[in-house]
Structure 1
Amino acid sequence: MVTTQTTRIARFADRIRLRAVRMVAPHGFGYLGQALSSAELFAALYGGHYDPSRDQLVVSPGHYIIAAFAAAPEVGVLDEAHLATYGMDGSSLEAIGTERSPAVDLTCGSLGQGLSGAVGLALSNRMRRKDDARVFAVISDGELEEGQIWEAALFAGHHRLGSLNVLLDANDSQVDGPVSSITTLEPIAAKWESFGWAAFDVDGHDAEAVDEAIAAAVDDPRPSIVIGRTSTVHGLSVLPEGADGHFIKLPAELAGAAIAELEARLA
């Protein structure tokens, strides 16, 4: 049964996609695939679980900042008109996130570092008795090839940092090709569970499943991870077959078709 909340999240996800297409279109290429794959994860998170006045958000892979920027106007932490400056010289909305990126508490350059930062934020909140604050961290499956991720996961599990919730965009994509062809990561959920985490493995484009998984993760007293199985070309049928989802080329004609498809779906 499709609920009002599910429909709201699904439409929010398509608004993230539409904003991301418009942000990338002037450049003709960019990190659109990361927004396409993580749209439901961000939409569900911003649509009822993340409170920017109380919680902290870490976007570990810097190129995923496009999705955070595209979601931010929904919760009033970024002016939608400012999105038009994405990737432009002098803009704070850089194509790869930096220490000055707005709308998030931390984003990282080198991959694999964001979870360590999120662990530090969660531990700091505990020491300062900020018991109602949560730390949400978005990471990618390519980052699971980094040892630092697992060191941070071990630490969080040992210290039972239950205020820490991770969203993993498992889109099987990185610059060198499919993640699964480079490093065997499975079974992902079982690995995290062995470290003392609660793990929820879902279809990352199923708005209801993602929303319910985040709710369960927040309620669990352990640190938690929601593993969203996604695709870097999801939600745009106009993309050519075999499009490189890691760094999508988007000439003007294709950008126009993508915008038209999303606007029609949101009409």
Structure 2
Amino acid sequence: MRTRQGDDEDLRRAAWRIRQRAVEMVAIEGFGYLGQALSSAELAAVLYLTALRPGHDRLVVSPGHYSIVHFAAGVEVGLVDPAELATYGKDGSRLEAIGTEQTPGLTATCGSLGQGLSVAAGLALALRLADSDRHVYVLMSDGEMEEGQVWEAALFAAHHRLGNLTVVLDRNNSQVDGPTEFVTTLAPVVDKWRAFGWASAEVDGHDVASIRDSLAALRGDPRPSVLIGSTWTLSGLDRVLPDEADGHFIKLSPDIVEQARKVCAEGEATAARVPARSW
């Protein structure tokens, strides 16, 4: 199911499939981390289908609750068995609501937020010392930028010029305590990363062409790189989810699940582009 690298319509369809799978996983219990999959669907589609070399490159999902988008996107490239999705969140399943060391298809995921970049930087340095051509990709959330460990790792990676390290940051302005900007001011995000010595780009996180082109451009830089995608936790399903829905942890009634299925199916069939939304 791997898409052609230049085909924007295929990438948009993949993003809608990621949303659809996430809806089905959350529907099992009627609640879960759906907003993370909705906001990062396009980021994950482009990362997994055009940049990541499955089974070769290293992949770290820093926030463990983002495992839902990894499961949904991993199916696209054979990292996750689609039959396992029906076990999401159930006792004994490898597909837990918050990722663990048993999560299939990942090099690492973290329970405590802010640790993933440290792990990834260590991996990147080890790979360079081994003269390996493997790349290390990290999926991060913007709320993690409030953790000091992130910036220690960022300094380390820049100092060692780890050009084989790329962060894809989901800038959805959402965390458990509310909008990130209400908790701790993060803006200007891109300037902060640049000040720490990283090659940085900021894009509409729902525009697959911008994501793809920026990732490709960053890949050639000798410095560690970060792609910041501005996103929204209700993206794609804002027509069926209430405005007051908690983007961090969403409850789904059977009626909303059915409506969401239809929207996702229509979106995939038409390769609909999800519009950006300013905060």
TM-score range, shorter chain: over 0.9
Match of 1:243 in 2: 245
Distance 1:4 1:209 in 2: 12
Match of 2:194 in 1: 193
Residues 67-107 of structure 1 show CA distances to partners (whole Å, capped at 9, x for unaligned) of 00001111112111111100011101000001111111100
Q: CA deviation at 1:195?
A: 1.4
Matched, 1:84 2:86: yes
Residue 61 (structure 1) aligned to one of 59, 63, 74: 63
Residues 210-253 of structure 1 show CA distances to partners (whole Å, capped at 9, x for unaligned) of 11111111121110000000000001121112211100010111
Give me the TM-score of the superposition, normalised by structure 2. Answer: 0.93
Match of 1:183 in 2: 184
Distance 2:13 2:268 in 1: 7
Give the CA RMSD over aligned residues: 1.1
Matched, 1:96 2:98: yes
Match of 2:163 in 1: 162
In the alignment, structure 1 segments of 5+ residues that lack a partner are: none
Distance 1:150 1:120 in 2: 14
Residues 157-201 of structure 1 show CA distances to partners (whole Å, capped at 9, x for unaligned) of 000000000000000000000000111111111111111110000
Task: Give the residue type in structure 1 aligned to 2:150.
Answer: I
Task: Give the residue type in structure 1 aligned to 2:210.
Answer: A
Q: Is the 8 A contact 2:140 2:169 kept in 1?
A: yes
Q: Is the 8 A contact 2:173 2:181 kept in 1?
A: yes
Match of 2:211 in 1: 210
Distance 1:264 1:191 in 2: 39
Kindly, what percent of the aligned residue pairs are identical? 58
Residue correspondence of structure 1 range 123-162 to structure 2 within 5 A: 123-130=125-132, 132-162=133-163
Q: CA deviation at 1:265?
A: 2.1
Distance 1:183 1:247 in 2: 20
Match of 1:24 in 2: 26
Find the residue that maps to 2:201 and give its secondary structure. strand
Find the residue that maps to 1:165 and give its secondary structure. strand
In the alignment, structure 2 segments of 5+ residues that lack a partner are: 270-279
Task: Give the residue type in structure 2 aligned to 1:198.
Answer: A
Match of 1:47 in 2: 49
Match of 1:35 in 2: 37
Find the residue that maps to 1:101 and give its secondary structure. coil
Q: CA deviation at 1:4?
A: 5.7
Find the residue that maps to 2:93 and give its secondary structure. coil
Task: Give the residue type in structure 1 aligned to 2:140.
Answer: I
Distance 2:104 2:180 in 1: 29
Q: Is the 8 A contact 2:173 2:179 kept in 1?
A: yes
Match of 1:266 in 2: 268
